[in-house]
Amino acid sequence: MTNTNEAANAFINQDIISVTQFNTQNLEYIFKRAHQMRELVERDGASDLLKGKVLACLFYEPSTRTSASFIAAMARLGGRIIPITQGVQFSSVSKGESLADTIRTLEQYSDVVVLRHPETGSAQQAADAANIPVINAGDGTGEHPTQALLDLFTIYEELGTLDNLKIAMVGDLRYGRTVHSLTKLLTLYNVSLRFVSPETLRMPLTIMNEVIDAKLEVRETHDIADVIENADVLYVTRVQKERFSDMKQYEEVKGYYEITPEIMKQAKSKMIVLHPLPRVGEIHYDVDSDPRAAYFRQVKNGMYVRMALLAAVLGK
């Protein structure tokens, strides 16, 4: 059994930059807190846990979904938000200010910073400059750790465990940041992985090697049919048009990986379908009413996980 106090202390005033900073004990703590946040919201809607705390929400590129999730998380804990989700490029930043100076300025006003930035490594750079916790809300092709945490938390909440699961990831596994981060977290558990993608969008070598080094059972395929019957989790990603030079190939691939009610008939009755959203045709709208369609519950879990993280890094 883990020591909750130790895990709690491990988060106080810490930055959340990368999935690599977590171990199973940390994750268990965050998931326990996230579950409590769910109970709190379902019972009371909100609390005053972070009353008097201020979150600077600094988004150098727009992400309605992620910023809304953090804003809702802070609001439901009674904290306040400084939203800087636009105009960044026209203001002090355009006057040539360094990211470090912008962060050092914002930390005078706030207790925690959430940063979204188009450049890989910028979150760590911000964390190095700041004396208050920095939470990475996506830095370019780098990390988006809170997305990976909410994905993992959703599996845990929906299926009650993270062990002995068969998890299939479907679609663009090459460029999809979310499947890379989730896979890294899953190497901490005893799971069996299936990677389903077109040949050109296979999981990168480095991630494959991490999976193999972790001695997880893993298998690649081009065909959903190979995995659908045994999967406990089907994690579907967007196949983005701009990845293809040949539009005909895109159209073929796109339709090939669409989850339909017909495909769902072949799946287990207790499996779940996840998707980081937004979707553009990868999951048919008729699947939404299937109780196994968990992707909107996954969105809600994002708020709970971010509530847990905000409370944890602020020591509450």
Residues that bind its own copies (CB under 8 A): 44-47, 51-54, 56, 62-65, 68-69, 71-72, 75-76, 80-88, 90-93, 95-97, 100-102, 104-106, 108-111, 238, 277-280, 285, 296-297, 299-300, 302-303
- The smaller minimum CB distance to its own copies, of residues 21 and 91, is found at 91
Contact yes or no for 165/192 (Cβ under 8 A): yes
Of the pair 55, 152, the CB lying nearest its own copies is at: 55
Q: Name the residue among 183, 236, 240 with its Cα closest to residue 206.
A: 183
* Residue 124 token pair: 């760590």
Query: What is d(CA 87, CA 138) in angstroms, rounded to the nearest whole number?
Result: 18
Point out the residues that are catalytic. 65-66, 95, 116, 144
Considering the complex, what minimum distance in angstroms separates the CB of residue 298 from its own copies? 9
Contact between 294 and 264 under an 8 Å Cβ cutoff? The reply is no
Q: Which is nearer to its own copies, 100 or 212 (CB)?
A: 100
Tell which residue, 150, 158, 152, 171, has the closest CA to residue 268. 158
Instruction: Report d(CA 219, CA 72) in Å as an integer.
Output: 38
For residue 125, the minimal CB distance to its own copies (Å) is 13
Q: Which is nearer to its own copies, 186 or 314 (CB)?
A: 314
Closest distance to its own copies from the beta carbon of 211 (Å): 28
Question: Which helix (H) or strand (E) element contains residue 96?
Answer: none
Sort 316 into a burial class: Cβ within 10 Å, 0-12 / 13-18 / 19+: middle
Name the residue nearer to its own copies (CB basis): 180 or 238.
238
User: Which alpha helices (H) appear in the chain, and where do they start and end?
Assistant: 4-11, 24-44, 64-76, 99-109, 122-129, 145-159, 177-186, 205-213, 247-256, 261-265, 295-313
Q: How far is the CB of 112 from its own copies (least distance, A)?
A: 12
Residues paired with 234 in a beta bridge: 168, 273
What is the smallest separation between the CB atom of 54 and its own copies, expressed in angstroms? 6
- Minimum CB distance to its own copies smaller for 110 or for 183: 110
Distance CA 282, CA 285 (A): 9
3-state secondary structure of 302: helix
In the block, tokens 């914002």 appear at 106
In contact, 233 and 159? CB cutoff 8 Å: yes
Distance in Å, CB of 79 to its own copies, minimum = 9
Residue 297 CB, nearest distance to its own copies (Å)?
8
On the 0-12 / 13-18 / 19+ scale of CB atoms within 10 A, 270 is exposed
Nearest to its own copies of 194, 254 (CB atom): 254
